[in-house]
Amino acid sequence: MEGIFKEKSDCLPNGNALANDEVKSPFLIGVAGGTASGKSTVCKKIMEQLGQAEMDHTQRQVVSISQDSFYRELTPAEKLKAQKGKFNFDHPDAFNEELMYETLQAILNGKKAELPSYDYRTNSLDFDNVLVIYPADVVLFEGILVFYFPKIRDLFHMKLFVDTDSDTRLARRVPRDINERGRDLDAVLTQYMTFVKPAFEEFCSPTKKFADVIIPRGADNTVAIDLIVHHIGEILAATNIAQHNNTVRTAAASMKRDH
């Protein structure tokens, strides 16, 4: 997975072109929670309420990325295990921690990043479907273990934990994995009891204590989402004012120089 980062944001295609060496360092929000707790749905709602969802992705001020893009590539033997539902995708070792850290660092340094999507049917990264992350003002990073790795946890400016009861999560995971991830009922339940539930208790649930905001009931919690959206809106407004002031300063300096 070489070449994930592109050069500095001078290649930014939207109107927010950066002046000279100015770096667009985003506000990074981590969104953790158990499987099927509603992490992606919460991120989607936040994007929608900020008017970002319908925007072309090159123009967005808020972008959402998933920890699934950082599953490490499996050896042939591990692939065989995964196909039989016998590989533990809920253990921290299933992720490429170093790449995740470097990528988030690069994004924080205003670089464009290209992330593969994840194909749950083949248990592998899909480099034909790449999500290009342009420098943004707010970046949401969601996944089951985004608060597990201390080095990564320390990068977040704000940490949210989506706290949905485990029966509800299982009831959502079963139809989702069958309909969207190509699994059968038996495999979903066996994987859940063998790996997903024990790993949630050992690795994911203990990270709730690191959260700044816990969102009970996930996307149903409209009050919590409204408060978070309001906070992000204030960050974006402050960024826009700072960018405007910077543009005015640069224009004034260049007029003075030309004079």
Ligand X SMILES: Nc1ncnc2c1ncn2[C@@H]1O[C@H](COP(=O)(O)OP(=O)(O)O)[C@@H](O)[C@H]1O
Ligand Y SMILES: O=c1ccn([C@@H]2O[C@H](COP(=O)(O)O)[C@@H](O)[C@H]2O)c(=O)[nH]1
Q: Name the residue among 167, 228, 232 with its Cα closest to residue 42.
A: 228
Residue from the set 26, 27, 29, 38 that interacts with ligand X by CB under 6 A: 38
Question: Within 230-259, which residues bind ligand Y (CB under 6 A)?
Answer: none
Q: Which does 123 bind (CB under 5 to 8 A by kind): ligand Y, ligand X, none?
A: ligand Y
| Distance of alpha carbon 9 from alpha carbon 7, whole angstroms | 7
Q: Which does 219 bind (CB under 5 to 8 A by kind): ligand X, ligand Y, none?
A: ligand X
C-alpha dihedral over 258, 241, 55, 115, to 10 degrees?
90
Of 112 and 173, the one with the shorter C-beta distance to ligand X is: 173
* Interface with ligand Y, residue 120, by CB under 6 A: yes
* Interface with ligand Y, residue 203, by CB under 6 A: no
**DSSP β-ladder status, 213-216 and 158-163:** parallel
* Interface with ligand X, residue 39, by CB under 6 A: yes
Give DSSP secondary structure letters for 141-171.
EE-TTTTTSHHHHTT-SEEEEEE--HHHHHH
**Segment near ligand Y (CB under 6 A); pick from 32-40, 100-108, 109-117, 218-226:** 32-40
* Interface with ligand Y, residue 196, by CB under 6 A: yes
Q: How far is the CB of 54 from ligand X (least distance, A)?
A: 19
Q: Between the CA of residue 243 and those of 216, 236, 248, what are the distances in Å?
A: 35, 10, 9
Q: How far is the CB of 231 from ligand X (least distance, A)?
A: 21
> CB under 8 Å to 172, separation ≥6 — which residues?
36
Residues at the contact surface with ligand X, assessed by CB under 6 A = 33, 35-41, 172, 176, 218-220
